């Protein structure tokens, strides 16, 4: 048996600030939220035959792990192998239920698993190699934690008897993962493997979901297998307390000017329809959270106003006209960086509905905090509010008109800036919008050149839009590869800048190796434009003697780099040729990974604000 830790049956730790309530997760592209298809009816089960028992007795821990993944509906294991996972590599060749997808580096492996999980709404798995592999994977685990992506990351560990000698390959893994992962454990024997695996799956899939790390020593991998894994059964999160729902409903019912803020948690709960219905009942506009991973409802909904800006100083004036702010399934607020003043206007009452108790009151103290199942909470508010009132209907008419005017103005701004002899960021956005169909999945990590796309692209849904939320670069292309592997029948386009591409470009090899049809657009502005824009925001100067911002001397040959990983490539810098080049890109992507490098010119708007000496963070506002 494994050693008894403070937090569970396997040696390790689970984040103490996370909810312990399990739940079914969101629905994406027809998959039950957070879960693959239901297991067979137990009534149809039959006792194992003599042959079944003999085969089970011959299995080792590595065989058991793959069978357990298959039982949980995980058909793919992403990874980069090493010597502390050789029994798992050997076991992969003895079965066909779980397919191994090879990545050339651990960070893209985690990014691919992330994209798979976000595209399906189900658990994804990756395996990495002892301390170096886990260290390489940490940026991807950070992204998954920020996005609440259910990932199981298994790590091969050295033979336990050798660990006190501090061998070349082997060392502390749980402590490495603990600050970022939702949970981290190391198993010590076959029984601990069974218990630790079940705990890890449950922790990854319970709301708020997230990545977990399970270290499996070599001696456990080759030890006789424990009894077969039984699929983990999850219970839904508890409902928000009735008294809190009563108070929240009374507050929003009395509001003169309510607003709804909807975050990724709405999608995770499969509550897109419920949040739209609540906004319609209130006659309130809907804003998305800053830097969301997806959208909380169809973006052509009449009340949709787009995402909030990423700085408190910019959020405050957006929310200033409203007296009650109803925030659903999101932090309040995750901002990009420092700016003066609070995000929440003085006098605005906050109602915060969130499944994660850690988020409620973390920055802004709500007038009413609602901790629990988001879908149940929204339904409870709707029931308590009753039918629309004359005032809410009138507000709704005005909110719809304002939303339409705001969307039209944003579109005009981008389209008006799209002219010129070279491809500007606005011209790239309008060209992409014309080339992307309503069912195509867009995976966006183009930090500056893609900014205008949201204003001009056709309606997006949670199934057709994924964006970079996690903060560690190198997520976009690997996530797009994982999403394309999850559903080869749909078109997937990844958007990257030249700088961000290089953090995850090796994923192109996996796409070529797996025959994945994928379109990649690389906006090449020759440097880290996001940092130049940040320096302009900080200093007020558009240029300076700033090192480390340009990718020249020599200029990177992005076509050659991408071609070397197995993709077909093309390049354009002509606005008149952009449409035909994108059509050609889609055509080439039907046969494997295809890349279009677009030479982009033009500065991004300044990002951020000057910093006064001694600027610090603050605790919760009263």
3-state secondary structure of 581: helix
Segment 10-46, tens digit of pLDDT? 556 554 343 322 332 333 333 333 333 443 343 333 3
- What pLDDT shows up at residue 606? 87
Q: Are 584 and 577 in contact (CB under 8 A)?
A: no
> 419-599: what CATH class?
alpha beta
Backbone angles phi, psi at 93, to 5 degrees: -75, -10
Cα separation values, 310 from 63, 222, 533, 590, 610, Å: 47, 49, 14, 36, 15
Other beta carbons within 10 angstroms of residue 499's beta carbon come to 22
CA-angle at 332, arms to 253 and 403, nearest 5°: 60
Domain 419-599 in the same topology as domain 242-407: yes
| Domain topology for 242-407 | Rossmann fold (3.40.50)
- What pLDDT shows up at residue 450? 76
Interacting residues of 445 by C-beta distance below 8 A, sequence separation 6+: 467, 468, 473, 475, 476, 477, 494, 495, 496, 497, 500
Distance CA 581, CA 566 (A): 19
Segment 562-593, tens digit of pLDDT? 999 999 999 999 999 999 999 999 999 999 99
**Domain extents in the chain:** 11-222, 242-407, 419-599
Of 262, 269, 206, 211, nearest to 33 by C-alpha is 269
**Residue linked to tokens 């963070």:** 617
- What pLDDT shows up at residue 305? 97
Tokens of 45: 């089960």
- What pLDDT shows up at residue 12? 62
pTM: 0.89
Q: Are 199 and 10 in contact (CB under 8 A)?
A: yes
Tokens of 11: 């040696």
Distance CA 590, CA 519 (A): 9
Can you identify the CATH homologous superfamily of domain 11-222?
Answer: Thiamin diphosphate (ThDP)-binding fold, Pyr/PP domains (3.40.50.970)
Residues of the chain with pLDDT under 70: 1-57, 613-622
């Amino acid at each position: 048996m494994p050693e008894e830790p403070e937090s569970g049956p396997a040696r390790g730790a689970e984040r103490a600030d996370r909810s312990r309530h399990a739940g079914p997760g969101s629905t994406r592209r027809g998959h039950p939220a957070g879960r693959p298809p239901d297991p067979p009816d137990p009534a149809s089960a039959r006792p194992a035959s003599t042959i079944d028992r003999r085969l089970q007795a011959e299995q080792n821990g590595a065989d058991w792990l793959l069978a357990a993944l298959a039982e949980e509906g995980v058909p793919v294991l992403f990874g980069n192998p090493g010597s502390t996972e050789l029994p798992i590599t050997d076991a992969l060749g003895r079965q066909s239920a779980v397919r191994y997808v090879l990545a050339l580096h651990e960070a893209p492996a985690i990014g691919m698993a992330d994209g798979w999980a976000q595209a399906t709404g189900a658990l994804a798995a990756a395996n990495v190699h002892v301390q170096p592999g886990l260290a390489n994977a940490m940026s991807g685990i950070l992204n998954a934690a920020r996005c609440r992506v259910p990932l199981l990351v298994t790590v091969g560990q050295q033979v336990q008897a050798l660990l006190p000698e501090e061998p070349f390959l082997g060392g502390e893994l749980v402590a490495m993962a603990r600050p970022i992962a939702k949970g981290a454990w190391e198993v010590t024997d076959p029984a601990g493997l069974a218990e630790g695996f079940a705990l890890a799956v449950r922790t990854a899939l319970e709301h708020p979901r997230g990545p977990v790390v399970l270290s499996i020593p070599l001696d456990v991998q080759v030890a006789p297998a424990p009894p077969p894994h039984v699929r983990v059964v999850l219970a839904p999160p508890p409902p928000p307390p009735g008294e809190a729902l009563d108070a929240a409903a009374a507050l929003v019912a009395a509001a003169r000017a309510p607003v709804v803020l909807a975050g990724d948690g709405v999608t995770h709960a499969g509550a897109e329809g419920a949040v739209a219905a609540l906004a319609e009942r209130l006659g309130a506009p809907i804003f998305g959270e800053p830097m969301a991973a997806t959208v909380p409802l169809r973006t052509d909904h009449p009340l949709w106003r787009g995402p909030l800006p990423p700085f408190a100083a910019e959020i405050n004036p957006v929310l200033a006209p409203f007296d009650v702010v109803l925030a659903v399934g999101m932090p309040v607020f995750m901002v990009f960086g420092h700016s003066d003043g609070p995000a929440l206007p003085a006098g605005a009452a906050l109602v915060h509905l969130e499944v994660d108790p850690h988020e409620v009151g973390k920055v802004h103290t709500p007038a009413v905090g609602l901790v629990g199942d988001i879908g149940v909470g929204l339904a409870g508010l709707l029931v308590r509010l009753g039918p629309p009132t004359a005032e809410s209907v009138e507000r709704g008419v005005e909110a719809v008109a304002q939303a339409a005017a705001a969307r039209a103005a944003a579109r005009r701004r981008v389209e008006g800036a799209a002219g010129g002899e070279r491809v500007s960021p606005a011209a790239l956005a309008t060209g992409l919008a014309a080339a992307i169909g309503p069912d195509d999945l867009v995976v966006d990590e183009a930090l500056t050149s893609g900014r205008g796309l949201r204003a001009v692209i056709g309606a997006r849904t949670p199934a057709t839009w994924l964006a970079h939320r996690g903060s560690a670069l190198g997520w976009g292309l690997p996530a797009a590869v994982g999403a394309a592997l999850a559903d080869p029948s749909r078109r997937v386009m990844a958007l990257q800048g030249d700088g961000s591409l290089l953090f995850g470009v090796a994923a192109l090899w996996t796409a070529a190796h797996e025959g994945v049809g994928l379109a990649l657009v690389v906006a090449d502005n020759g440097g880290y434009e996001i940092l130049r824009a940040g320096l302009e925001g900080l200093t007020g100067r558009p240029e300076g003697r700033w090192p480390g911002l340009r990718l020249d001397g020599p200029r990177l040959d992005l076509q050659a780099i991408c071609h070397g990983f197995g993709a077909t490539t093309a390049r354009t810098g002509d606005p008149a040729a952009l449409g035909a080049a994108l059509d050609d890109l889609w055509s080439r992507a039907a046969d494997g990974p295809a890349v279009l490098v677009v030479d982009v010119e033009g500065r991004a708007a300044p990002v951020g604000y000057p910093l006064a000496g001694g600027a610090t963070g603050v605790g919760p506002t009263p």
